[in-house]
Amino acid sequence: MRPGVAFQARPRPWKKRGYYVEAVLQFEGFAKKNPADAFAPEALYDIAGYIRRIMKLYSAAVRYFAMVLDKYPQAAPWNRLAAVGMLNSPIIFRSNPVIFG
């Protein structure tokens, strides 16, 4: 079984119970060990989503969204979702006042 398929198939009790830090560590470890796997962009996108929605660490989330766009520019739908995620993060507008007014 491919690493990504095994990763997606195994139960994730840490995610269901709200252990989002553990979820982030698991996803990050998977993406680092298997960068060529089809599930790697999804793992990085999920990290960014947890960090933005649950932990409210917007600048860290933007870094993970950017990682999806930089490393996997052709990985649909994750590239499009990462771009939208970046634009929906408040840090983007606060950190670029010249660009966004």
Q: Say what percent of the chain tops pLDDT 90.
A: 39
Instruction: Look at residue 38 and tell me whether its pLDDT is greater than 50.
Output: yes
Question: pLDDT category, 88, cuts 50, 70, 90?
Answer: confident
Instruction: Look at residue 85 and tell me whether its pLDDT is greater than 60.
Output: yes
- Which CA distances in Å does 41 have to 9, 30, 58, 96, 100? 17, 10, 19, 26, 28
- Could you tell me which residues come within 8 angstroms of residue 49 by beta carbon, excluding any fewer than 6 positions away? 61, 85
Query: How distant is the alpha carbon of residue 71 from its chain centre?
Result: 12
Q: How many CB atoms lie within 10 A of CB 10?
A: 9
Closest CA to 50 of 15, 12, 1: 15
Question: pLDDT category, 8, cuts 50, 70, 90?
Answer: low
Mean pLDDT of the chain: 81
